[in-house]
Amino acid sequence: MSRIVFNSLLRLRIELVALVVLGFVALAPGITQPPLLDWDEATYAEVVHEAVSSGSYLDFTWNGDPYLKKPPLLFWMMAGSFKAFGENEFAARLPSMLLGLGTLILIYLSAAYVAGRLAGIFTGLIPLGFYFFIARGGRECSTDAPLVFFSTLALYALLHVRGNRRWLPVAGAACGLAIMGKGIAGLIPLMVAVVSILTIPALTSIGANGLVVVLGAAVAVAAPWYIYQAVFDWSLFWSMFVKQETLLRVASHLEDNPRSANYTLQAFYGEIRILWPVLIPLAGLSFARLRHGVRETLRQMPPAIPLWTLWMLVALISACAVQTKLGWYILPALIPVAMLAGSILGRAFSEAGPARVRFALFAAVALLTLAFEVPGRLHVIADAVQEQHESSRPSYFIALRARHLAGQLGRGELYFAGVELPTLVYYSGMRCHFVASSRSGIPAPGFELTDANGATVSLNMHDLVLVTPEGQILPVTNLDKEWEISGPGASGVQPPRLED
């Protein structure tokens, strides 16, 4: 009886349950904690808030203006979460956290399918040491979470096509959902799938018909929304989605502080350098394989290895080619890195033959070295996440002050002398006019407001004022002063009490 129970537990893959628990421990902290971060979290939450309020889930707005910077998949997920759990930080972040956990499950299954369950365990744990996976792939509400999940699903399905062609439409649909999640970046898994079917010997048997199925499923999933936007509001679709968020982002620097050309490679190296001990078992395995010749080594190589290598290269080259340099653009390239590294460790431990003890020793040394470095890496990740949170506190606090003042006087609209602050818009619950002459955030010279009595009020840099429905202009606060009180480094800061 005990043997039957033991075998049943093995079939249940206890290690997968443990991996999900560890993933939850890594991704869930702070899921209920305000504020939603500037920029993306608060922006997306406001878009979904306005969509739920208006009942419009195809034509989105932000701060009352049309919003067409991102595809709708994450917004639809967040809207469902808002309806199920109410509008709060937990509901905003929940879809991304679930997608992050789903990604861990998929990469475990992918590596286990290729190199065994031990490789699956190692592969599933590795992303928990990547800052961009923790932050953008599961903890924050961001469009990177659906991109990574559906990219992983697409290429997981592609690996199974040789055994069952029913996986073909799954691979194509997942590619389409990646496009619906992140726009042009969602083309990465589709490009990898196409090139793999055409060039990787073990996958060429999928053939032209299979390639048509993948492309057709991707188009069927993604095309309707794009066609709708292009037909019903071509001007907005072209100016905001195609031109500003795609062409200009690819061809020019849109970040506030343009970075060097090699910034992407530096960010990529910064994430994966912790994995250098994996080179030890990799060297041993490579030496053993290459003794039989390069051609024989390539012939015996599982198709997943060139597939994942191609995925890593396409994602990394794409991130390098984009002129706008944002660190998390490398995230899609980190998933195949985890799969390759985890599979190397798993293969070294499970290698048969006379040299199996030596390979296991190499892998053990690599794991011990990684274990020594992991605590420091986790500390760095925790500090980076905390700094992000602290940087959004000042705009969150002044939003609460504005909301309290408006509640006493009867709503109104806000004017802020500076760049857009999505946290201010979302938590104030009011339309906010941002007055700046350029992306640098310098207010227009001599900017003034005129109240109902004809008196003028001048705004200094980072001043926030409330204009009541009666035309009164009331100062709320100044962001610079709030930054000194509640910005990074101000520990133990609490939100302003609304009864004050």
Q: Are 65 and 171 in the same domain?
A: yes
- Any domain includes 118: yes
The pLDDT of residue 96: 97
Q: What is the pLDDT of residues 252-298, one digit of tens each?
A: 888 777 888 899 999 999 999 999 999 999 998 888 776 666 676 66
- Any domain includes 318: yes
**Span of 105-109, 297-301, 454-458 with lowest mean pLDDT:** 297-301
User: Containing domain of residue 469, as a range?
Assistant: 393-486
Q: Are 429 and 323 in the same domain?
A: no
Alpha-helical regions (H) of 183-206: 187-199
Instruction: Report the share of the chain in percent with pLDDT over 70.
Output: 91
Q: Are 311 and 416 in the same domain?
A: no
Q: Are 370 and 409 in the same domain?
A: no
- Any domain includes 5: no
Residue type, 70: K
Residues present in the chain in total: 500
pLDDT at 368 > cutoff 60? yes
- Any domain includes 20: no
pLDDT at 439 > cutoff 50? no
Q: What is the model's pTM?
A: 0.93
Domain count, the chain: 2
- Any domain includes 326: yes
Q: Are 295 and 267 in the same domain?
A: yes
Q: Are 115 and 263 in the same domain?
A: yes
- Any domain includes 22: no
What are the angstrom distances between the C-alpha of 375 and each of 270, 274, 499? 16, 11, 43
Short-list 293, 291, 289, CA closest to 347: 289
Q: What is the pLDDT of residues 383-411, one digit of tens each?
A: 998 888 899 999 999 999 999 999 888 78
Residue 478, beta-bridge partner list: 463
Q: Are 114 and 154 in the same domain?
A: yes
pLDDT at 483 > cutoff 70? yes
Q: Are 456 and 413 in the same domain?
A: yes
Of 331, 351, 376, at which residue does a domain stop? 376
Q: What is the pLDDT of residues 209-252, one digit of tens each?
A: 999 999 999 999 999 999 999 999 999 999 999 999 999 988 88
Short-list 197, 178, 216, CA closest to 318: 178
More confident residue, 10 or 473: 473
